[in-house]
């Protein structure tokens, strides 16, 4: 025993060492794998960010050019007005009128020295300063040309200046505050607007640090921007292009991947805690599963060595136990692989679900914001060009009609930077135009696009801004803006129309379009975004431009997968993706991530854990199984009463194992712990742990809404919001339901058993019926529900029962009957493999129970095959030990009490000589007074498989005893002479001993054997 304890202790130590090594090996593997994956994702993001920064600078330049366009054209047009309008006055009132018309901040006239001649503002600047020399460059250019725009900062304001020469002495200056431009650039073309939507990992971010002075140029926390990164703990020596490492910032550790763009270092930072948490979850999961498997192996070996149960009686115990341990090691490693992969996949999907939903919300918000941005910019665009039209109307109204020639109109068009400027009279006819087309007249057809121009001429409206449309003569997209022209008395005398090419608004529309937004969505893990129109089921956007405008069905997406608010597994172009969807307008927006990228951690991790666990469990097997022999385990248990609940049965290979007796299977009580074999004890421990976990899971299901977050994947699975089909969601829900239903079933059956023990026979009958109903009801309900979850249309199954019955009746009746009968045999527990049964008079050992047939092997080795549906009148003899009943005849002249005393002395020897006897032998008294003999009955208990041979051996032993003591066994004959003398006669002491033996045997064998005749 001490040696065995040492082996168990050594196995425990090795298991602990294995657990520690597992934590180290798997932890190290995951560190490398997770950081490698994050590094690859960060490098991809840096490449994308590099493109975004280039686009950002380009966009900032475009926004500045757009901002300059109005003021430059205003300055040029005002200079043209000053030259061409005869009564143009260089006074403050004129400047104020121009300022109101164009909406700029200030308009003034200065001379070459910088002296202010007139101004619309009461806050003049000193334009003679050198900082305004760039304005005076306009004097050096040709008349009417603008100076290059430039910016001057005044205290807390920044002003941009534009100048256009009137002549060699004077120039128009337009001053415009850049606040609106700065806000637009900040909103659309700044580091904050560009990098704010860049996501790194789940909780990571982008940061930008100058390589020149280590000043932080961008950080999610605005208070950090503008500070020195070194002051936050960042080691400047670790800031290196292409480097991936852990960095400390404000006391927190981040895994950073860096890339240099210009003079700035762009850093993709992921909190170390995020990587560590992902690693630890997988490590703990692998550790727990490995620890449970190793513990079960050690417990099994411990129970085998300690209890010495007859689990494999008659077999090579060392081979048997080593086979069990090696099987547990290999099966445990396989289970570890499956569970680690399954649970790891669930974790990956759970994390991706949170990420997908977060990206989806941001994408939908971006689409809404881009729509708002589009409306805002379009209104601003319309107002800016409306200001040009107003200025054109002001100039036209002040001009002498005789001077509205083609040259002037072209000059005005150039100043306003438009395609065409046209002037209409009150009759709706063109009276001046910068183009060659003069024959156009405003139509009187109400359906015509230009018909609404009459509203201006009729005085109903002052201004009209039309939407962009195709030009009648070409396919060009143009926009028309019209403003009423007023005479000196401010009465409408016509209208001026500007024809524009809405390039700006088209660019804005492109930037705010669905394609632009979705193409910039960063899903990570090689995912992408796409959009499907809910009405047409066609792609409104897809990364492959060939698919846009085509049916989504061409990629394999089915109609029932077009569901808003779903998290589904969708097959696209032959590859499975995990997708989240949301509705936006007429479109369903999808975020799709390939499943292969979600398994790139769980699958290799499961492989590493499997390999390590297999090696270490095999080491444990060698330690635990080495030295186990038949002698170690050959002893019988001490408590015979407990053993009766366990029966040793033969398997198909000839080995023997313990199983519950047939009576105990039908009992409402379980087998005591002391009667269980080592394997059964381990199984009971596993079942007990699973029941505890199941109860916890059941409670979790009941309180799921309060335990889990609203966007939790577990809550999503429990609610069954996913589309029913074979996937990990359906499998998980089936497992949860199976556990929950079985917990309820076990609790209900235990309660019923408790009541049955306290009821009469009728009450127990009802309890057993209810118990059976619960068992089969749960089974049928689970089959129905799980099939429904796996995508089988159970309603079709039910409604097609008539057709199915017809098919069965025509050809599959016997097959279905055999299968159903086989299932009932297994579920009812009528008999199982190893049981000794008699079916229709054929006696043998059950070696296999199949779907259609059951195979029974007789003592001679022949196997008879029964159809399951034809099995009836089954006699199961795998009960609480079988009974051998031996009737022995003695002559009437023999003294019965003397014979009984002899049996009392010899029973111990019989037990020693016949080891197959498990209990007894017992003397049951006189069975019959026959014609020629007194028949006495001796019984013994044994395994059913030994019963026939033991019956022969017991008769032999009794014959030898009778011969030894000259006890006569009579012949079946008629005696014609007097009885012989010389029979033995018991004295008083022998008679007393015989009576005591008789009474003692009655008590010991009470309930063991009784036949129908009552003898």
- pLDDT (0 to 100) of residue 640: 45
Which is it for strands 842-849 and 150-154: parallel, antiparallel or unpaired?
unpaired
Residue 1012 confidence (pLDDT) above 50: no
DSSP H or E segment with residue 367: helix 317-398
Q: DSSP string spanning 539-550?
A: EEE-SSGGGTTS
* Distance from the Cα of residue 743 to its chain's centroid: 25
Nearest Cα neighbor of 274 from 302, 294, 314, 246 is 246
- pLDDT (0 to 100) of residue 1015: 41
Nearest Cα neighbor of 611 from 26, 13, 14, 27 is 26
Residue 643 confidence (pLDDT) above 50: no
Give this prediction's pTM.
Answer: 0.67
Nearest Cα neighbor of 753 from 738, 776, 772, 779 is 772
Is the separation of the CB atoms in 165 and 79 below 8 Å? yes
- In the numeric block, the tokens 């183009």 are attached to 435
Q: Judge residue 8's burial from the number of C-beta atoms within 10 Å of its C-beta, 0-12 exposed, 13-18 middle, 19 or more buried.
A: middle
Average pLDDT, integer, range 119-135? 83
For the ranges 858-862, 865-869, 970-974, the maximum mean pLDDT occurs at 865-869
- In the numeric block, the tokens 């280039």 are attached to 54
Average pLDDT, integer, range 126-132? 85
Q: What percent of the chain has pLDDT over 70?
A: 77
CA distance 704 to 692: 18
The residues, ordered by sequence, that sit 6+ positions from 436 with a Cβ below 8 Å of its Cβ are none
- pLDDT (0 to 100) of residue 999: 63
C-alpha distance across the termini of the chain, in Å: 48
Sequence-ordered alpha helix ranges (H) in 308-316? none
DSSP H or E segment with residue 491: none
- pLDDT (0 to 100) of residue 314: 47
- In the numeric block, the tokens 């086989």 are attached to 822
Residue 724 confidence (pLDDT) above 80: no
- pLDDT (0 to 100) of residue 440: 83
DSSP H or E segment with residue 1010: none
CA angle 110, 111, 113 (to 5 degrees): 115
Residue 739 confidence (pLDDT) above 80: no
The 10s digit of each residue's pLDDT in 238-279 is 888 888 999 988 888 999 999 998 889 999 999 998 888 888
CA distance 522 to 512: 17
Which is it for strands 528-533 and 252-261: parallel, antiparallel or unpaired?
unpaired
CA distance 623 to 9: 10
- pLDDT (0 to 100) of residue 1014: 38
Which is it for strands 567-572 and 575-584: parallel, antiparallel or unpaired?
antiparallel
The 10s digit of each residue's pLDDT in 324-382 is 777 778 888 888 888 888 888 888 888 888 788 888 888 888 777 777 767 777 777 78
Q: Is the dihedral of CA 488, 491, 497, 503 positive or negative?
A: positive
Residue predicted with more confidence, 926 or 797:
926
Q: What percent of the chain has pLDDT over 90?
A: 9
CA distance 70 to 107: 13
Give me the half-sphere count of Cα atoms (radius 13 Å) on the Cβ side of residue 312.
22
Q: DSSP string spanning 811-876?
A: IIHHHHHHHHHHHHHHHHTS--TT-EEEETTEEEEEEEE-SSEEEEE-TTS-EEEEEGGG--SEEE
CA distance 296 to 300: 6
Residue predicted with more confidence, 204 or 746:
204
């Amino acid at each position: 025993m001490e040696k065995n304890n040492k082996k168990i202790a050594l196995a425990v130590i090795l298991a602990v060492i294995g657990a520690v090594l597992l934590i180290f090996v798997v932890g190290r593997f995951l560190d490398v794998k997770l950081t490698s994956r994050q590094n690859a994702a960060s490098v991809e993001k840096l490449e994308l960010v590099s493109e975004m920064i280039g686009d950002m600078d380009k966009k900032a330049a475009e926004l500045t050019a757009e901002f300059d366009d109005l003021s430059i054209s205003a300055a040029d047009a005002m200079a043209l007005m000053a030259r061409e309008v005869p009564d143009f006055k260089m006074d403050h009132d004129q400047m104020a009128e121009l300022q109101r018309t164009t909406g700029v901040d200030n308009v003034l006239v200065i001379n070459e020295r910088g002296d202010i001649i007139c101004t619309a503002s009461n806050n003049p600047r000193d334009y003679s300063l050198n900082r305004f020399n760039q304005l005076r460059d306009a004097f050096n250019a040709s008349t009417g040309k603008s100076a290059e725009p430039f910016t001057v900062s005044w205290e807390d304001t920044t002003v941009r200046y534009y100048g256009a020469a009137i002549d060699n002495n004077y120039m128009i200056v337009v001053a415009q505050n850049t606040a609106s431009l700065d806000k637009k650039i900040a909103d659309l073309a700044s580091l904050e607007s560009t990098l704010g939507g860049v996501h790194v990992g789940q909780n990571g971010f982008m940061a930008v640090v100058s390589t020149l002075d280590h000043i932080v140029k961008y950080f999610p926390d605005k208070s950090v921007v503008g500070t020195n990164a070194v002051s936050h703990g960042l080691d400047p020596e670790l800031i290196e292009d292409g480097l991936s490492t852990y960095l400390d910032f404000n006391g927190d550790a981040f895994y950073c991947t860096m890339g240099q763009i210009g003079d700035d270092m762009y850093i993709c930072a992921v909190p170390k805690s995020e990587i560590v948490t992902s690693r630890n979850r997988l490590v703990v999961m692998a550790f727990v599963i490995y620890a449970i498997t190793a513990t079960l192996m050690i417990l099994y070996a411990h129970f085998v060595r300690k209890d010495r149960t007859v689990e494999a009686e008659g077999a090579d115990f060392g081979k048997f136990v080593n086979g069990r341990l090696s099987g547990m090691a290999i099966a445990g490693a396989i289970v570890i692989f499956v569970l680690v992969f399954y649970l790891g996949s669930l974790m990956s999907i759970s994390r991706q679900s949170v990420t997908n939903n977060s990206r989806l919300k941001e994408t939908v918000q971006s689409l809404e914001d881009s729509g708002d941005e589009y409306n805002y910019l379009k209104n601003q665009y319309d107002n800016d060009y409306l200001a040009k039209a107003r200025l054109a109307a002001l100039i036209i109204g002040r001009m002498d009609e005789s001077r509205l020639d083609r040259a002037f109109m072209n000059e005005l068009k150039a100043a306003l930077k438009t395609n065409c400027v046209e002037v209409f009279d009150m009759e709706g006819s063109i009276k001046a135009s910068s183009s060659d087309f003069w024959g156009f007249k405003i139509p009187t057809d109400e359906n015509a696009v230009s018909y609404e121009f009459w509203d201006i001429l009729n005085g109903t409206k002052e201004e009209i801004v039309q939407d962009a449309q195709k030009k009648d003569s070409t396919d060009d997209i143009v926009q028309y803006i019209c403003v009423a022209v007023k005479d000196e008395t401010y009465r409408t005398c016509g209208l001026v129309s500007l024809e524009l090419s809405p390039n700006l608004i088209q660019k804005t529309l492109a930037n705010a379009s669905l394609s632009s937004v979705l193409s910039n969505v960063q899903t990570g893990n090689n995912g992408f975004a796409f959009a499907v129109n809910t009405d047409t089921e066609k792609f409104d956007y897809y990364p492959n431009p060939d698919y846009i405008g085509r049916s989504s069905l061409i990629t394999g997406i089915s109609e029932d997968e077009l569901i808003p608010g779903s998290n589904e597994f969708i097959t696209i172009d032959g590859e499975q993706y995990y997708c989240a969807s949301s509705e936006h307008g007429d479109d369903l927006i999808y975020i799709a991530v390939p499943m292969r990228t979600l398994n790139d951690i769980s699958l290799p991790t499961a492989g590493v854990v499997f390999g390590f666990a297999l090696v270490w469990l095999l080491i444990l097997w060698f330690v635990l199984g080495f030295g186990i022999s038949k002698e170690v385990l050959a002893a019988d248990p001490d408590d015979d009463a407990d053993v009766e609940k366990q029966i040793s049965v033969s398997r198909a290979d000839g080995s023997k194992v313990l199983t519950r007796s047939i009576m105990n299977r039908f009992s409402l009580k379980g087998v005591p712990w002391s009667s269980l074999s080592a394997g059964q004890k381990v199984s009971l421990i596993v079942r007990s742990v699973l029941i505890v976990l199941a109860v916890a899971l059941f409670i979790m299901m009941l309180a799921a809404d309060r335990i889990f977050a609203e966007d939790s994947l577990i809550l999503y699975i429990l609610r069954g919001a996913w589309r029913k089909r074979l996937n990990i969601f359906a499998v998980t829900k089936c497992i949860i339901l199976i556990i929950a239903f079985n917990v309820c079933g076990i609790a209900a059956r235990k309660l019923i058993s408790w009541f049955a023990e306290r009821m009469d026979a009728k009450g127990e009958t009802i309890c057993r019926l209810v118990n059976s109903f619960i068992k089969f009801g749960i089974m049928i309900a689970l089959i129905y529900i799980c099939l429904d979850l796996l995508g089988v249309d159970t309603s079709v199954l039910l409604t097609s029962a008539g057709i199915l019955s017809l098919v069965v009746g025509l050809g599959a009746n016997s097959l279905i009957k055999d299968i159903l009968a086989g299932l009932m045999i297994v579920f009812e527990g009528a008999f199982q493999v190893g049981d000794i049964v008699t079916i229709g008079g054929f006696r043998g050992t059950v070696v296999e129970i199949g779907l259609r047939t059951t195979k029974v092997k007789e003592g001679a080795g022949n196997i008879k095959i029964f159809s399951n549906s034809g099995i009836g009148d089954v006699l199961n003899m795998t009960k609480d030990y079988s009974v051998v009943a031996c009737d022995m005849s003695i002559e009437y002249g023999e003294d019965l009490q003397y014979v009984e005393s002899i049996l009392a002395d010899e029973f111990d020897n019989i037990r020693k000589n016949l080891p197959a006897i498990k209990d007894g032998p017992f003397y049951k008294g006189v069975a019959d007074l026959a014609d020629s003999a007194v028949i006495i009955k001796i019984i013994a208990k044994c395994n059913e498989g030994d019963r026939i041979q033991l019956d022969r051996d017991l008769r032999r032993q009794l014959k030898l005893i009778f011969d030894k003591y000259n006890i006569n066994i009579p012949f079946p004959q008629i005696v014609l002479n007097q009885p012989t003398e010389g029979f033995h006669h018991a004295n008083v002491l022998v008679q007393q001993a015989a009576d005591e033996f008789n009474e003692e045997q009655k008590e010991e064998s009470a309930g063991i054997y009784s036949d129908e005749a009552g003898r």
